[in-house]
Chain A
Amino acid sequence: MSFEAAVARYFAARLPDAHDVTVTRLNRIPGGASRETFSVDLRWLEGNGKERTQGFIIRRDPEASLVDSDRRIEFDFYRSFADSNVPVPRPLFLETESTWLERPFFVMERIDGCESQFQALLDPGFAPHRDGLARRMYEILGDIARMPIAGLPAAASSEVPAPEACWRRELDYWEGVIDAHELEPQPIARAGVRWLRRHPPPPPARVSVVHGDYRTGNFLYRGERILGILDWEMAHFGDPLEDLAWSFMPAWQWARDGKAGGIADPDDAIRIWGQRSGLRVDPAALRWWQVFSCVKAQGIWLTGARQYADGRAQEILLAFTSYWLVNAQDRLLLQALGRL
């Protein structure tokens, strides 16, 4: 059975009161490095004979990826922000078995008429929208940090650490990722880990939702509006400064002009985020999380390199990121440590 036929069969079984389900378009969306992402256009008839059409997104587990992540946790973070002032695509179905599409996956509503690629932000024609979009980006990040944890669906599937445990838990995890996946010794990343352990940050004033990959390229936008925050596969509970620091990483300064994500002045971003979250930014703690971001990112690139080298995945993206980013990330870490 073709993938398209399998998708039609799945939705015929899943959608209530649907028959004559037809896939009118099915495209794989480029860029997703943790899940295979497909855009699906469906047409079907309801019991009363009325024709319906709708677009969906399927996020399927890959054979291997840059990030080892649990689809249930990602799905639960989407659920946590559905109907909140943090815009996300509505999550619909989680399928943990491999019976339908060979591997587990989940389904979301598709948000149409918007852009996600960061390259479009750099187009001169987009310049009038950059400041407004940057403001919105950090307002939403402040809202994520402000969201009460109690009662969130994600709190049922993800551990909520004590404030003083946040930094150590993340650092232990990502050092473990480097241990598991490095293809060769990583003296710069190891020096970074030692520095982080010698200079721990103070506990956060509040344990919050941490998106885990908050940056331009990971949200849907139209002009100055953000319509959906995507890619929650690394979401967890922790220190909200982690997201702020990650968004500032020079690797995402696409225009190489010091602007976070190519659009935001970091001082403005900190001010907007602070107003919205009600939290104060400790510069030393922020620096800790910026150094940490370099170590974490290296863990991600090394995971991709390992998956490709071991033959667990043939995605060109994994080989490309290892050539394009592993050494560059080492340089960014040296800069963050004041050694370059």
Chain B
Amino acid sequence: MVPAVPLVLNGLARTMMMELLPQAAHPYAGQTLQLGAALAMMCAQEFDRAAARLAEENAALEALFAEAGAVVTDSALGAAMGEAVGRPATSLHVSALHERNRALRAVLVRLHAHVDGLDSEAARALDSRIWAELAESTRRRHLDLALG
């Protein structure tokens, strides 16, 4: 058993802030240490939750596309949504989950632009659903030390 990555990164941040920063002779060195420490702490949080948030978001987007099928009038977009949903992740590596997330969000951009141009009750409901998912996506990505 080795120390967990978040523990190591947070320890690194503590060393930078408590031991190295007081010895920094120049403002540039001090600022770099402060930024580095904060960055290490944000990376620690992201490391721990990345797979969970990506898997959650990928599933949410797949569900959204499944609902959107009845509203979409662009056959190429419909096919892209079908293809995106039909290719489940084959790995739990964060890089693989990221890759799938990128593919799904690319389709989401197209879907939102398409829905923007539709005028129906179902389209408006889907538009609201997309905005809600976008808001939720920022909640998933929020880091405790980040702005806002």
Contacts and interface: CB of A to CB of B under 8 A. Distances in A.
Interface of A: 27-31, 184-188, 190-191, 194, 250-251, 316-317, 319-320, 323-325, 327-328, 330-332, 334, 339-340
Given A27-B27, A324-B38, A339 B131 contact: yes
Contacts of A331: 138, 142, 148
B141 interface: yes
Contacts of A330: 134, 137-138, 141
B142 A323 contact: no
Most buried by B among A186, A191, A325: A191
Contacts of A251: 147
Interface residues of B, number: 35
Given A339-B131, A340-B135, A184 B146 contact: no
Interface of B is mostly: helix
Given A30-B27, A331-B138, A185 B105 contact: yes
B27 A334 contact: no
A319 to B, nearest CB: 6
Interface of B: 26-28, 30-32, 35-36, 38-39, 42-43, 46, 98, 101-102, 105-106, 108-109, 112-113, 116, 131, 134-135, 137-138, 141-143, 145-148
A328 B146 contact: yes
A328 B147 contact: yes
17 contacts: A28-B28, A30-B28, A184-B101, A186-B109, A187-B109, A316-B32, A319-B39, A320-B39, A323-B43, A324-B143, A324-B147, A325-B146, A325-B147, A327-B138, A334-B134, A334-B135, A334-B138
Contacts of B141: 327, 330
